[in-house]
Amino acid sequence: MQKEFGNAMTVVATGGLASLFAAVTDVIGHTDRERRIRGLREVYLRNRAA
């Protein structure tokens, strides 16, 4: 993907198993176990207020 894009990219692994994958590859730059749940919460809060 980086070759097609033409620039360096930051890879973020999300979810409960993110740290396991990050430990065995040098492609993943960051891990965030809670990113998906925080995003779902944000969608809920925005829709609740509407």
Q: What is the pLDDT of residues 3-15, one digit of tens each?
A: 898 988 899 999 8
Question: Which string of DSSP letters, residue by residue, matches the chain?
Answer: -HHHH-S----EEESTTHHHHHHT-SS--EEETTHHHHHHHHHHHHHHH-
Number of structural domains in the chain: 1
pLDDT at residue 1, rounded to an integer: 80
50 pLDDT more than 80: no
pLDDT at residue 3, rounded to an integer: 85
Mean pLDDT of 34-49: 91
Domain residues for the domain of 23 are 2-49
pLDDT at residue 42, rounded to an integer: 94
